[in-house]
Amino acid sequence: MELIFVRHGRPQHIETSDGTPADPPLAETGVRQAIAMAEFLSEEAVDHIYSSPMNRAYQTAEPLSAALELPINVREGLSEFDRNSTSYVPMEVLKETNRAAWERLASGSMGGSDGGISKWFNSAIQEVEVVVEQHPAERVAIICHGGVINAYLASCLNFSYDSFMKFDVDYTSITRVLASTAGHRSVHSINERPHFRGRPDLLTS
């Protein structure tokens, strides 16, 4: 079967003051990115759509759901590692405002001693494996997050959880993994962005 991972579109920059999770919706650019991605993938024979429950992922899945006339199956385990964070700062904004934090993320290091990251990492991979098990010989789109995509790629390529953020996957980029019932995993492509061609309004950096 083929897994089509799509990172969410660009979200709004949100920081809450009451301690509640930020969980931002898409920014205007993110909405346009999601629509362009849906137009591109609507030409493929996708059998199912799965999404993280977080706003930025679910709202990215909605145009694809409409284009393909398929329901969105929400899986809690596809949530990002920052699900409970009180702020969301887009990477391109973080690079300008907090270079040290950006460097840490860009280096691929998430802190090897953090048991929470390890638990999230394994849970995210297992959630994808459940989807694989349920849909042999089908093509499934999974709308989720950069961390989830990197975690699954790390699993396929035998990277450890403490340095799994190896790939720069842009907003609404497409990453494909072929998965067999025998357990074979083959990374077919990473960070496809054909829907960005001739669309400077979709670029975020």
**In this predicted structure, what is the pLDDT of residue 113?**
43
**In this predicted structure, what is the pLDDT of residue 95?**
63
**In this predicted structure, what is the pLDDT of residue 18?**
83
Question: Has residue 19 got a pLDDT over 90?
Answer: no
The answer to whether the beta carbons of residues 109 and 163 sit under 8 Å apart is yes
- Mean of the pLDDT values across residues 94-115? 60
Residue 161, amino acid:
Y
Question: Has residue 111 got a pLDDT over 70?
Answer: no
Q: How many helices (H) and strands (E) does the chain have?
A: 6, 8
**In this predicted structure, what is the pLDDT of residue 100?**
75
Residue bearing the bigger pLDDT, 47 or 13: 47
Q: What is the mean pLDDT of the chain?
A: 90
Confidence of residue 104 (pLDDT cuts 50, 70, 90): low
Alpha helices by DSSP H, listed for the chain, are: 28-41, 55-68, 91-97, 99-106, 115-134, 146-157
- Rounded Cα gap, residues 138 and 196, in angstroms: 26
Confidence of residue 101 (pLDDT cuts 50, 70, 90): low
Structure tokens at 165: 């953020």
Question: Has residue 98 got a pLDDT over 90?
Answer: no
**In this predicted structure, what is the pLDDT of residue 102?**
60
CATH architecture for segment(s) 2-11+23-83+110-202: 3-Layer(aba) Sandwich (3.40)
| Domain range list for the chain | 2-11+23-83+110-202
Question: Has residue 108 got a pLDDT over 80?
Answer: no
